[in-house]
A = this chain, B = another copy of it.
Amino acid sequence: MLFKNIHFILIRPQLGENIGAAARSLKNFNFENLRLVSPRDSWPNKSAIYTAVDAKDIVHKSKVFSNNDQAVSDLDYVFATTSRSRSVNKKIIDLNEAVKIIKRQNILHKKIGIFFGPEASGLSNDDLINANYLVNIPTSNKFKSLNLSHAVTIFAFELFIASKKFEPIVKNLYRSDDAKKKEVNAFLYFLISRLDKVRFLKPEEKKEQMIRSVKNIFHRSSLSTQEIRTLSGVISSLIKYKE
């Protein structure tokens, strides 16, 4: 069985070899969707194709985006892998828990993205904005830095193994459809532009951090489409009241 709704997303990958090796692992474990955000080297990339061996098709059909928002716009949930502890107020779960959540979402046909950061630095705080969950892959405390394709390999292997175990899935019938990331981001664009207008985002030097905090709150909470509509209505009516 192919994991058609799970997208491995490499953020600003530097080495073609790692992209190719990641593609190979995806094929080893029945995945087919690779997305790249701003790969450092020109694309398509010879080393990536060479390293992919029999997974060249995955490299060829990988999708390239120029920023994270575009790369996640059609997704329901985003998981961001990170080895460092973060000052971001989002839940950090370990790989084992992430796999259980993804397995459940996959059975419900949700579209899922998994972020992997660039080789040298990992994901930045800005990269974490679209994430619902941060995921820690357990390692030795003495040397936490995983090779990019190794992190992809471990994640893909664990999902593959988990997919073979039977577990009953209970759907929450009282919940409307989850919002796509592009709905959340459209709402956030609307909210932030209004906050800017009412001079909430002051002083200027703190603006960026304030925007990030606001975005993090709403991406984290896995809102439904209905809830996004409600929130948009709330903001609109607040603004009208103030005018």
Determine whether the beta carbon of B25 is less than 8 Å from that of A147.
yes
Cβ of A231 under 8 Å from chain B: no
> A30 — which chain B residues lie within 8 A by C-beta?
140, 142
Q: A150-B150, A154-B154, A157-B154 are in contact. Are A27 and B143 (CB under 8 A)?
A: yes
- Please tell me the size bucket of the interface on A: 20 to 34
Per-residue CB contact flags for chain A residues 99-128 toward chain B (1 = under 8 Å, else 0) read: 000000000000000000000000000000
> A150 — which chain B residues lie within 8 A by C-beta?
21, 24-25, 28, 149-150, 153
Cβ of A146 under 8 Å from chain B: yes
> A54 — which chain B residues lie within 8 A by C-beta?
143, 145
A82-112 at interface with B (beta carbon < 8 Å): 96
Cβ of A168 under 8 Å from chain B: no
Cβ of A203 under 8 Å from chain B: no
> A147 — which chain B residues lie within 8 A by C-beta?
21, 24-25, 53, 149, 153
